[in-house]
Amino acid sequence: MQDFDAIVIGAGQSGPSLAVRLADAGMTVALVEKRALGGTCVNDGCIPTKTLVASARAAWVARNAASYGVRVGPVEVDMKAVKARKDAVVAESRASLDGWIGGTKNLELVMGAAVMESEGTVRVGERRLRGKKIFLNVGARPIVPATFAGVPVLTNETLMDVDFVPSHLLVVGGSYIGLEVAQMYRRFGSKVTIVERGERIISREDEDVSAEIARVLELEGITILRGVTITSATAVGSGEKSAENGVRLETSAGPLEGSHVLCAIGRAPSTAGLGLEAAGVTIDARGYVVVDDELRTNVPHIWAIGDVNGRGAFTHTSYNDYEIVAANLLDGDTRRVSDRFPIYALYTDPPLGRVGMNEAEARASKRRVRVGKRPMSRVGRARERGETHGFIKVMVDADTKEILGAAILGIEGDEVIHSIADVMYARAPYTTISRAVHAHPTVSELVPTTLQDLKPLV
């Protein structure tokens, strides 16, 4: 048995930062990781997928160069080179983490799967570790339903090993991961079909957002099947990582055949097999670790940070979890999860930036809501780039004048959204932006204009 002041289980976005901060404060710390440093973000999430998205955009720009007055020859995608570029970016991130952790005094990296034997004891292989404080940062995993049993289905994780262009990629699930991958592979050269059970894609977004993204994807040649359920799946071929493959889906709309299938219907917390029962840690019906507003579990010396706590499903919320815990433990601060606004982006092209409430939430709040909306075709930067899909939409409270939420679907929307978020965090009135002078020609300059023409939300 080896004693530590703290044990951090999982080296995802928040785990390493917290482990280093605790070690720098003089604690002895064990950081346990069963797979690879960096978790989902570094290995099969944000960093690799956005690297692939960049390559896909390069192919799209090259194919559309003539519309900008630039003539190029035939465009070919070398997927082995695309994957090699992605792998190099991932390796660099891993190496940076490895050097940072390895160079930190009082911190030991323990590789292997952790299983809690009690509220203070963790087994990793043949080793048993005891910690005064334990932090769970085990993340989430892709959901693959029993319908696909025996089928060589791709997930966002196994997709990272693909070094070829599928001839026909069936994307099961019309949400964030599915849409990004669908557009990416269409631009690489695949035929792509999205199979969505709901009546519209990304149903948690406003209807106008959903409809506009669907329109953009369909203009690029992606087929979207809505309101379709899958009853069975049959595979023919040599495996999910092979270019020679085949899959047949029996659906409510009839049979559907493709070369490969990506399952992108959601993610579940990685709590199974962690031994939380032995530790007395409470989980909810979906398997998420239950935490309070400061991320403590029902066991006072155990915290849950990152995707596993169900309080956010993003790299940035995971990192903020680390900031909350560290500030409260080490800085005498009182930071809370409820202090933050939901903010995220969908990295299709054009991207979607979202912060705060959507329309349904604004209506449910019973406030007097006013909304401003402008098409991206009014944005000089968008017209100059020839990318005018989308719009800017901002909602405000008519009485307090505070901004309630915004959606920016369009070129650079994932960056511009932060100018709105910062004003929201300042609890400043929307006039802080509406009366501001922004540089021309930019996307940001249309945000003040949008807020100068507010109408009741109907």
Look-up of token digits 């020839």? 386
- Could you list the residue range(s) of the whole structural domain that residue 127 is in? 2-142+268-339
Percent of the chain clearing pLDDT 70 (strictly above): 98
CA distance 300 to 291: 10
Percent of the chain clearing pLDDT 90 (strictly above): 96
Q: pLDDT per residue over 106-118, tens digit each?
A: 999 999 999 999 9
CB 408 within 8 A of CB 416: yes
Look-up of token digits 């999910």? 240
Do both 260 and 126 map to the same domain?
no
CA distance 52 to 335: 36
Look-up of token digits 């960096």? 38
Mean pLDDT along residues 347-352? 97
Do both 158 and 189 map to the same domain?
yes
Do both 133 and 154 map to the same domain?
no
- Give 122's strand partners: 116, 129
Q: What CA dihedral angle connects 294, 295, 301 and 302, to 10 degrees?
A: 180
Instruction: Report which of 256, 107, 60, 56 is spatially closest to residue 170, judged by C-alpha positions.
Output: 256
Do both 281 and 138 map to the same domain?
yes
Domain boundary among 228, 249, 265: 265
Write the CATH number for 204.
3.50.50.60
Look-up of token digits 């509406």? 434
CB 81 within 8 A of CB 59: no
The residues annotated as belonging to the active site are 440
pLDDT of the residue at 257: 94
Look-up of token digits 């965090």? 425
Domain boundary among 265, 288, 304: 265
Do both 243 and 297 map to the same domain?
no
Look-up of token digits 């690879």? 36
CB 132 within 8 A of CB 120: yes
Do both 36 and 87 map to the same domain?
yes
Mean pLDDT along residues 53-65? 97
Q: Which two tokens stand for residue 274?
A: 């962690």
- Give 32's strand partners: 9, 110
Domain boundary among 219, 238, 265: 265
| pLDDT at position 240 over 80 | no
Instruction: Report which of 301, 292, 320 is spatially closest to residue 5, judged by C-alpha positions.
Output: 301
| pLDDT at position 28 over 60 | yes
Look-up of token digits 């202090």? 339
Domains in the chain: how many in total? 3
CB 29 within 8 A of CB 19: yes
pLDDT of the residue at 150: 85
Average pLDDT, the chain: 96
Amino acid symbol at 191 = K
Confidence of residue 53 (pLDDT cuts 50, 70, 90): very high
CA distance 408 to 411: 9
